[in-house]
Structure 1
Amino acid sequence: MSELETKTRYDAAEAEPRILRRWLESGLFHPEPEGTADENYSIAVPPPNVTGALHMGHALNGSIQDALIRFNRARGKRAKWILGTDHAGIATQKQVEKQLAGEGSGREQIGREAFTERVWQWREQYGDTIVGQFQRLGASLDYDDERFTLDERYVEAVQKVFVDLYEKGLIYRDNYMVNWDPGSRSAISDLEVEEREEVDTLYYVDYPLASGNGSITVATVRPETMLADTAIAVNPSDERYARLVGEQAILPLVGRKLRIIADDYVKPEFGTGALKITPGHDPNDFEIGRRHGLEELTVIGEDGRMTEAAGERFAGLGVKEAQEAVVAALREAGAISRTEEYPHVVPFSHRSGERIEPLISLQWFMRMDELAQPAIDAVKDGRVRIHPERWTRVYLDWMENIRPWCVSRQLWWGHQIPVWYRGEETYVGTTPPEGDGWERDPDVLDTWFSSALWPFATLGWPRETPELKAFYPTDVLSTARDILFLWVARMIMMGLEFAGEVPFRDVYIHSVIQAPDGRRMSKSLGTGIDPLDEIESHGADGVRFGLLAMSSSQDVRYSAEKVQQGQQLANKLWNASRLVLTRIDPEARPASRPQAVEDRWILSRLAHTRAEVAERIEAYDFSHAVLGLYDFVYGELCDWYLELVKPRLYEAEGQERDDLSATLLHVLTETLQLAHPVIPFVTEEIWSHVPGAEGLLAARTAPPLDAAAGDAEAERAIAAAIEAVQALRGWRDSVGAPAGARIPARIDAAGYGETADHVARLARLELVEAERNGDEPVAQVSIPGGAVNIFASDAVDLGAAERKLEERRATLRKEISRCEGKLANDGFVAKAPPAVVDAERQKLTALQEELEAL
C-alpha cells in the first residue's frame, strides 16, 4: 500500500495514457464474434470523416456511446463498438486539391488515377487523427477492427447494393433538378446545403401580352434566370388574371412567346400574383413545368457562368455579372416598373461557400417510396424506437413525403458508379463488362449512399460472417438530429432491404452543445472549444462527466462548471479511496458484512443508486444518471458515510475491524463499478490498488442487484441524523460558535438510538444528562422527531448570539414587509415583466423560510 500512500493526489495527465495502454493491450475492446446479436451488445460509431478532428459534438456522442458500451460490458455482455471512418468525398477531395494548388497544380493536370493515389496518400498521413483523439477520450472502440468506407470489402458491398437496386428498377438515370454547387462542380446532398437569410432586390418586370393589349407584371429576385422562362403562371382562383389564362406573353430581351397557365402552387399574395416559370433553374418551377409539359431551358452552366443559350449578350458572364447586365438591359427597355427590398432564405454550399444553383442535370437517382414504407412501419410498430419521442413524428413526416434521391456526384474520390457505356449500350454490374469500347461512368456515389450500409457492411455483409451473426442488428445509434433523414432513415431502409432486419433497436438524438453564449460552436466565429484542450486541463473523466451532465433533450450551452464538477468528483473519489485503502486490513476482501446502522444505510443507498443509474442509462437520460452518481459518491459516500465510519476505521480491532474492512471494500468496489462507465480512468486506477482485485475493472462483470440490500429503517435513521447535523451546524454558524468548541446539549427527539453519538460528534456537541445541575436550556434547535436543547457554555455568548439573531430577524421582517407591499400593488404586478414579478415572489418565499428557520 506504500505506493498509494505516496500518491497524495490523482494526476490524470500521468495516469490516463498509462491506463489507455493497458486497455488497448488487453484485447478487451475486440470481442470474439460468438453468440447472437440478442445475447451481445453492439453500437456502430457514426463514422467521422477521414478529414476530421475531435470536436465537442464528437466528444459528447463518444461519451454517450462509451458509457453505454461499458455499462453493458459490465452486465456480462460481449460488447462491440464498431469503429471506422468515412471517406468523405467532397471534404477529402478539397483537402488534396488545396495541396495541389499549393504546388501550382490541380487534379485535371495530373489526371484521375494520380489524383486518387494522392488522396490515398493523404489518408494514410492524416486519416487516423481523430481515431487517436477518441482514444484520448477513453472510448472503448474496437481499434483492432477498424473499417473504412473505401475498404475493398466495403466497396464490394456498395457495388452489390447499387446493382441490386438498379435491377429492381429503384435506381435510374434521368435529367432532373438537383442542388448544383458551382464551387465543387458537383451535385450535392441536402445536408451540404445551408440556408442563409439574405436581402435581395425584388424586381417587378413587365411582360407584354402577345395580343398587344397591355402587359402582365411578374416579381423576381433572379432576373438573370428569366432568359430561361417558358411560361407565366397564376393561381386558378385569382380573378385578376382569369381572362388571361390561355393567352401568351412576350419574354422581354428574348422575344419568346410564353403561355399563361393556371397552377395551384402560385400564391396570389406574393408580388403581383403572377409568377415567371423557369423549369431549368428553380425546383418549384421544375415541378410546375413537368405538370404542364413545359420546355426545360438552361442558361446557367455547371461552372456558374451563363451559357450560349443565354444569348450572345450575356454568355460567359458570371451569375452576378449577368444579373447586373440583365437589369441594365431591362431598364433600358423600360421593362422594370418598380423594385423593393426582399428578405428571404437563400441556399449556399456548406462545402464551397458558393450559392447553390438549382440545375437540371443528367444524374443517377434512387426511387425511395418502395424502400420507405417498410422503414415507416418499423418505427410505427416499435421495432425501432426514437428518443426523444418527439423526433418520431419528424421522422415519419419526412419519410411519408420522401422524394427521389440524387446519388451521383461529379467527383473523383469515392465509390465510382459501377456503370459502363458503349454507344447506346449501358452495362451495370459489380465487374467490368467484356469486350472493347466500354467507358465507365466517371461519377462517384454520394457519401451517404455508402454510409447507409454502415451497420451491416462493417460486419462483412454481403458475406455471412461470424461478426454479422454476432453483432447485427446493433442495439443503438446515437447521433445528432441534422442527419436523422440523410443517414438514419437511409440506414433503416437499407438494413431492412439488404440485411433483412432493422439496423438498430433504438435511435438516440443527442443534444447540440452550444458555445457558452448560446451561439453555435465554430472556429470561424471564435466560439469553438477544443475538447482536447479541456481534457488536458481537467482530464478525460472530467470532460466526459461534464458533457454527460450537460446532455439534454434540448440544445444546451457548454458549461465549464460541469466539467470542473467532473474533475472534482474524480479527485474526491481518489481521496476517499486512499483513506479507505490505507486504513483497512490489506488482507481484506470485499464482502457485505454490516455491523452498524451507517453500514446498512450506505449499502441501501448503493443498491438504490445502482438501480436508479441503470434505469436512467437505459432511458438515455444521461444527465440525471451522472448527477445521481455524483450525489451518491460526493455526498452520501464521501461526505457522510466515511465521516460516520471514521471512528471505527481508526479504532476498530479484531472481528469488528475485519467486518468493517470487508464492508468498506465491498462498497468501494461496487462504487467503482457503478462510476466506471462515466469516469473510467480514475476508477480503473483506483481498482489497481484494491486488495485482491484481478484484471481490469473495465472487464469486470458487476454482480446482480441485491434486493435485500434495501433498508428503509436505516435510511430513515441516517436521513434524520444528517438533517439534524445540518440544522445544528446552521445554528452554530448563526451564533458564531467557534469551530472547535464542544457545546453541551441534550437530544430530546425520537429515533436517535443508533445515531445520537454520530450527531454529537459531527455537530460538535457534548451530550449531557436531562438534569444537568438543574440548568435550563438557553436555546433550542428543531430536528426531525423533536429538538436539541442547548445549555449555557463558556464557548458561546448566547446573549450576544441571540441579539445578533434578533437583528437578523428584524431585517428579515422589514424586507418581507417591503416585498409583500410590492406584490400587493396591482400596478406593479400588472405592468412589471412576468420574470421580475416571479423573482420578487421567489425572494419573498426565501425570506420567509429564513425567518422561520431563525
Structure 2
Amino acid sequence: DIEQNVGVCWRCKTPIEFINAKQWFLKTIPFKKLVLEMSNRIKWYPDFMKKRLEDWVNSLEWDWVISRQRYFATPIPVWECKKCGNIVLAREEDCYVDPTVDDPPVDACPKCGGELKGCEDVFDTWMDSSISPLYNTFWKRDEEKFKKLYPMSLRPQAHDIIRTWAFYTILRCALLTGREPFKNIMMGGFILSEDGTPMHASLGNVIDPLEIIEEYGADAFRCYAATCSLGEDNPFRKKDVVRGVRLLRKLWNIERFVSLSIGDKKPSKPSEFIDIDAWILTRYSKLVKRCTELMDSFNYSQAMKEMEKFVWHEFADHYIEMVKGCVYRGENLESVRFTLYTIGFGIMKLFAPFFPHLTEEVYHQVFKKFEKEESIHISKWPEPILIDEEKEKYGEEVKKFISAVRRWKSDNGIALNAPIKASCTYAPEDVINIFLRSRNIIIDTLNLPREHKFIPGSPEVEERIKDIKLNFAKIGPLLRDKSKEVAKWIAEHKDKIIKKIETDGDITWKDIGIADLEGSLIREGYIKVEKEVKIKGEEGNVINLYDAVYLVIET
C-alpha cells in the first residue's frame, strides 16, 4: 500500500481528484495595471483592505478560468464544431442563450461546414456577480439612467471575496466602461461562534439568528451587529444583545419622559437658553457632527458607541435628572421643552439606521403629530443646533458638582433622591458664580434645603480623628494568637489612643503594651485612621468633593 496526502472537501470530507481538462479563460494578466489604477480611484473602508487587492493582483500569474463543469449556472453561449473544433459565438441580440437547448446562429460551421454542438460548460458564478453594478445601473437598457447612476455609490461586501467579487467587478466594468464600478467599497467581517472559531454546520457551532431575534428582538440583535468594527471578524457576544435590550429600554423611557414634558404643541425655540440647555445642546450638536463624519466614512460601530455614551452618560444620567425639577415646578419651560424635543427627536434619528423598529414606533407615538414625514426613515438627518463653548463649560461645572454629591450619597448609602441637610457649599468665586446661575436646578436635583448657601472661598477647617481600625491583613501574620488580645485592648482604650495620635501623630507598639516590638503603627500600616473635617468652632462635617469645592453637612 502507498500512503499519500489527498485533498478533501472541507464540508463533507470527500476526497478530491484533480483532472486535466480544457477550460475557457478570460484574459486578466494584461490588465493588472488597469485594475490597480481603478482601485486607486475607489475609496476603501477600511483603507488597509485595498492592500489585499493589490497583493492579489500583483501575485497573479495566469488568466481567469471562467468555465465550470456543473449542472446549474449561466450557460456559456458558444457552439463548437464537432469536426474542426471551430467556435461559433452567440449574437448579442440573441442573448440570453442556452446552447444545449437553443439553435446556433448559423446552420453549420462557417470554417468546415461541420455540425455544431452546444457547449455544456457553465460560467463561474463571478461572471454574473461581476457585472452587478452594470445591471443595477441599467447598462445597455436605459442610457439616461446609466449616466445618472454609474458608477454606483457603494459596494458593501465581505473581505474574503476581495480577490473574486471586488477584483472581477473592477476588471470587467473597467474593460466594458473604462471607469471604476463604484465610488466606495465597504468591507464587512464575519460573525464567528462564541469561542471565536468560524461557524460550520458540520462543527455544530452555528448560531441561529432567528432564535436570538425570537428571544431578544430584532433591534437588540442589530445592536450587537452595530458594535462590530468594519473589516474585522467578531465572535458572537450574547452580552451585547442583552446590552442592546437595556439600551432600547432606556431610549423608550427617555422618550416617555420627553412626551410627558413637551406639552400639546411643538415647542418653539426660546429667545435665550438656560445654561444647562445650552450645555446639553452644545454636547448634542458636537455628537451630531461627530456621528455624521463617522457614518459618512462607514465607521458605524464607533458612531454607535458615541451615541450610546451620550444617551446614557450625558442626556439620561445628567440632563434629564437636572430638568425634572423645572418640568415639575413649571420653571424655564420654554427653554427646557425645546431642548427635550430637539434632542429627543434627534437621537431617534441618529439611532434609526440601527434600531428601525423602536425609532419608528417612538416617532409615531411622540413626534409624528408635530412633523410632516410619514416615517422617521424619510426624515432629514439631524444637524447641529448650537455651539456655545462658554455655556458648555458652565454646564460641565454644574454636572461635575451634582455628580460628586450624588457619588457621596451613594457611597454613604443615601438614596439619590433623598434630602440631605447641607447648609452651604464653598468653592472659588468663579465656580460659585456658575452654580448661582443654576441654583434652583442644583437644589432640586440634589434635594438640598431651599436656603442652601453658595459661598465664595474656602472654609476654615480642622481635621479630627473619627475612628481607628486595625489592619488585620498585616497585624495577623505578625502577632498571630495575640491579635485578638491586642484588638480588644485597643477597642477598650480607643479614646486614649486617639488623643495620643492627635498629640504625637503616631503610636508605637510600646504605647499599646508590647515591649518586644519596635516601630510605628500608623506609618507602617498596622492601624488605619479615619478622619472627619469640620469647620472650626461649628458643628457639621465638611466634605471635600473635589479640588477646592466643599459641601457642609449638618450633624
If the length of structure 1 is used for normalisation, what is the TM-score? Answer: 0.49
Match of 1:544 among 222, 226, 233: 222
Match of 2:377 among 671, 674, 698: 698
1:383 CA drift (Å): 0.7
AA of the residue aligned to 1:383? R
Match of 2:44 among 386, 391, 411: 386
Partner residue, 1:365: 25
Match of 2:340 among 641, 658, 664: 664
- CA RMSD, 1 decimal: 2.6
1:416 CA drift (Å): 0.7
Partner residue, 2:106: 434
1:561 CA drift (Å): 1.8
Partner residue, 2:73: 414
Change beyond 3 A, Cα 1:754–1:523: farther
Q: Deviations over 1:511-543 (max 9, x none)?
A: 222212111123332222222222222222212
Alignment of 1:294-373 (within 5 A): 324=1, 327=2, 347-350=7-10, 353-373=13-33
Partner-residue secondary structure (3-state), 1:788: strand
AA of the residue aligned to 1:787? V
Partner-residue secondary structure (3-state), 1:688: helix
Change beyond 3 A, Cα 1:351–1:448: farther
1:590 CA drift (Å): 5.7
1:757 CA drift (Å): 3.7
1:738 CA drift (Å): 5.5
Q: Deviations over 1:143-191 (max 9, x none)?
A: xxxxxxxxxxxxxxxxxxxxxxxxxxxxxxxxxxxxxxxxxxxxxxxxx
640-649 or 520-529: bigger deviation:
520-529
Partner residue, 1:636: 314
Gaps of 5+ in 2: 95-103, 109-114, 460-534
Q: Deviations over 1:535-585 (max 9, x none)?
A: 222222212121111335432221212222222222211111111112322
Match of 1:516 among 194, 202, 205: 194
Change beyond 3 A, Cα 1:526–1:758: farther
1:599 CA drift (Å): 1.0
Partner residue, 2:476: none
Gaps of 5+ in 1: 1-323, 328-338, 794-854
1:375–1:492 contact (8 Å) kept in structure 2: yes
1:513–1:557 contact (8 Å) kept in structure 2: yes
1:781 maps onto 2:544 in alignment: yes
If the length of structure 2 is used for normalisation, what is the TM-score? Answer: 0.74
Distance 2:252 2:158 in 1: 34
Q: Which has the bigger relative contact order, CA under 8 A and spacing at least 6?
A: 1
Partner-residue secondary structure (3-state), 1:550: coil
1:388–1:553 contact (8 Å) kept in structure 2: yes
Change beyond 3 A, Cα 1:452–1:353: farther
AA of the residue aligned to 2:221? V
Alignment of 1:180-329 (within 5 A): 324=1, 327=2
Distance 1:573 1:463 in 2: 47
2:288–2:382 contact (8 Å) kept in structure 1: no
1:440 CA drift (Å): 0.6
Partner residue, 1:755: 438
Q: Deviations over 1:265-315 (max 9, x none)?
A: xxxxxxxxxxxxxxxxxxxxxxxxxxxxxxxxxxxxxxxxxxxxxxxxxxx
Distance 2:215 2:171 in 1: 43
1:412 CA drift (Å): 2.4
Alignment of 1:591-630 (within 5 A): 591=269, 595-630=273-308
Match of 2:353 among 649, 658, 677: 677
Alignment of 1:448-847 (within 5 A): 448-589=126-267, 591=269, 595-652=273-330, 656-689=332-365, 690=367, 691-694=369-372, 695-702=374-381, 704-706=383-385, 709-737=386-414, 740-749=418-427, 750=431, 751-766=434-449, 768-769=452-453, 775-783=538-546, 786-793=548-555
Partner-residue secondary structure (3-state), 1:678: coil
Change beyond 3 A, Cα 1:692–1:619: same
Partner-residue secondary structure (3-state), 1:636: helix
Distance 1:593 1:557 in 2: 51
Distance 1:416 1:352 in 2: 27
Q: Deviations over 1:234-275 (max 9, x none)?
A: xxxxxxxxxxxxxxxxxxxxxxxxxxxxxxxxxxxxxxxxxx
Partner-residue secondary structure (3-state), 2:436: coil
Distance 1:351 1:648 in 2: 65
Distance 1:386 1:589 in 2: 43
Partner-residue secondary structure (3-state), 1:765: coil
Match of 2:34 among 350, 360, 374: 374
Distance 1:355 1:593 in 2: 78
Partner-residue secondary structure (3-state), 1:752: helix
2:38–2:179 contact (8 Å) kept in structure 1: no
How many percent of aligned residue pairs carry the same amino acid? 24
Partner residue, 1:252: none
Distance 1:738 1:533 in 2: 40
2:267–2:338 contact (8 Å) kept in structure 1: yes
